[in-house]
Amino acid sequence: MRVKQFRRAAVLSASLLSVNAFAAETVSIPVVKMDPALHAKLPADIQKSGIMTSVNNGSFPPYEIVTGTDSLDGASADLATSMGQLLGVKVEHASVSGLSGILTGISSGRYQLGIGPIGDYPERQAKNDFVDFVKEYVAFAVPNGNPKNIQSLSDTCGLRIAVMAAGSAEKVIKQQSEDCVKAGKPAVTVQSFTDQPTSILAVRSKRSDAFFSSQAPLTYFIKASNGQLTLAGAGKSNGFNDIYQGTVVPKDSEIGKVVLAAYQELFDNGTYAIIMKKWGLEGNMLTAPGINLGKPTK
């Protein structure tokens, strides 16, 4: 199956979801006062331009909802706006294709950060740092009624499972496929897509049996599916330990320290909690942000 076949429909799907899924939420986020001390710690080129560029790889609702070539909505967009107000800069948004484009683009210095949140794993920490601000879980979006009876990762042998290309779920489901074969069961057909809407569209069109991904965006898509989809395998480890997600910054960079300090202030002044609750993400909140909280699998 080719991702290009779904691209245009996926963009339309994301647009419709951004309008419908949280239409009832009309929370006002207070303007944050600029902190001159934090502004002074930004790299000189950012202070001069007054702009930081955050890169994304398409819609990742309810965190990132791409609404145009360089415009973004969602919890992360709200967080970026508040952080920009605090730092006295404007955070602009750019899109690339695929998660690997974000990680390599930031490690090479092409982009200054990726607001994310993006999964923080030790193998990724070698080239980038993660300023973690949420905890996540991984589950399955399946057709209503769960026709394939997916209750956990172990139930995926012989099924067609959609995942985000280059994401942590892709790695886990590929390992599960190998485990299926070793146990004498059919392999998992792993279907890798570049974004969330395309993956969801594959399930809704019955080209995939399930989409294996972060629970927060899956919940968002399910709410917007008008009863077509449901959540499966929630509350299970599904091949993961504790999952932390955050903003990607260059390794050992000054901007990483500034972003951490900015997030801490947004946690302390209540802005973070307002944003998370606005988007129905209370269950994903951390008590404090941190750098590289993701730990190796035991």
**Region 270-298: what's the mean pLDDT?**
93
Condensed to tens digits (0 to 9), the pLDDT of residues 93-151 reads 999 988 889 999 998 889 999 999 999 999 999 999 999 999 999 999 999 999 999 99
pLDDT band, residue 271 (cuts 50/70/90): very high
Q: Does residue 8 register a pLDDT over 90?
A: no
Nearest to 15 by CA among 70, 80, 63, 73: 73
Please check whether residue 21 is in contact with residue 223, taking contact to mean a CB–CB distance below 8 angstroms.
Answer: yes
Looking at the chain, the domain(s) classified CATH 3.40.190.10 span: 31-136+242-291, 138-232
**Region 202-212: what's the mean pLDDT?**
97
Pick the CATH number of 31-136+242-291 from 3.40.190.10, 1.10.10.10, 1.10.357.10, 3.30.70.120: 3.40.190.10
Q: Does residue 7 register a pLDDT over 60?
A: no
Q: Which CATH superfamily is domain 138-232 in?
A: Periplasmic binding protein-like II (3.40.190.10)
What's the predicted TM-score (pTM) here?
0.82
Handedness of CA 236, 238, 244, 247 (dihedral sign): negative
